[in-house]
Amino acid sequence: MHEYENQHGKTVYYLRRPGHKKVRLRIPEDVLPWSPRFMAIYDAVLAEMPAKPAIGASRTVPGTVNAAMIGYFQSSFGNGVAESTKKAFRAILETFRAEHGDKRVAMMHTTALQNIVNNKKPVAQRNFKKAMRGFISYCIGQNLISSNPLANVELAKIKKTGGHHTWTEDEITQYAARHARGTKARLALALLLQTGHARADVARMGRQHVKNGKLSMRRQKTGVQFDIPMLPELVAELALHKSGQLAFLVTDYGQPFTATGFGNKFRDWCNQANLPHCSAHGLRKAAAVRHALNGATAPELMAWFGWKTIGEAQRYIEEANRIKLAESAGAKMIVLGDKSGETL
């Protein structure tokens, strides 16, 4: 509310609302400022003013990708997905919007999307399709399009590489030899290997999560709860570190790591140990193999690592069985050689 005295010596009042032009209040001379009659006029003028337009609305044309994307971001976007996934999807959609925002949603057909996908690498193709699914569903729900143009988009095959390299016991020993106990690098190794959890969760781990000798958290990516005992080797390493922060691992500035920041720092520590092919996620896989070799069942692995499906756990059971069977086969050959007394 702004109060002025005009050139005639009369007091006038203007109502200014963000995003709108100011409006003069027609206040009779006998009405005192902020009296009930004054406020009644104020409320009436305010009610007649249109709602503040949505951000970016003035730059959009109804029916375009821009307009639809704004509506999607303000409605169902990100429902049921982790914050990190939501951020990644937002980046993909914003790129799509920047390149095609002025085009009509109705023209978003399979051939057009296939051409976009063809210019991406196999993994990026899959991420693009995942990010676009929610947007397409929103457009169908708003009657902007009648069918799903993503349905018949074909993706390039991904060459199977086994994913992140699983650390061997020799590589774990090599890393430990380079980074002494009591260092942040060694604490990172202990947290990753002894808990078996992802870097995003390890970066958040702290004393507030430990109760009665158990580490209790929810996985950041899936929200699955895990309650695991603190193993002796991890407890011994933590005893060497004193921190005023809640997080076990902190930066040189005394602040908790972000997931990306921790991943980059651990990459440096691996390089220092001459292990450029090793990663934080590879230690999670190594931990799973260790548990399986020690006889952990698939349900036990699911409880420890916070997996939702038994198939994830079964892969490590099979890997452990492969190792055990190979060792058993080798042992039989050694016994056979001892009996024959011959060598080749």
pLDDT 10s digits, 75-101: 878 777 777 788 889 999 999 999 999
Kindly state whether residue 338 falls inside one of the protein's structural domains.
no
Tell me what the mean pLDDT of segment 310-333 comes to.
89
Nearest CA-CA partner of 196 in 280, 90, 89: 280
Question: pLDDT (tens digit, 9 = 90+) per residue, 9-59?
Answer: 788 888 887 666 788 888 887 877 778 787 888 888 877 776 555 455 555
62 DSSP β-pair partners: none
Q: What is the mean pLDDT of residues 223-229?
A: 93
What is the C-alpha separation between 25 and 141, in angstroms, rounded? 43
Task: For residue 146, tell me if it sits in a domain.
Answer: no
Together in a domain, 32 and 136:
no
Is residue 147 included in any domain, yes or no?
A: no
Residue with tokens 């009779």: 28
Q: Is residue 152 part of a domain?
A: no
Residue 199: pLDDT band (50, 70, 90) is very high
Q: pTM value?
A: 0.62
Q: What are the structure tokens assigned to 271, written together?
A: 């390089």
Integer angstrom CA distances of residue 200 from 71, 195, 214, 239 = 31, 13, 19, 22
Same domain for 62 and 44, yes or no, is no
Residue 256 main-chain phi, psi, to 5 deg: -60, 150
Q: Are residues 173 and 311 in the same domain?
A: yes
Give pLDDT, residue 287. 95
Among 146, 172, 154, smallest CA distance to 286 is for 172
Which pLDDT belongs to residue 161? Answer: 63
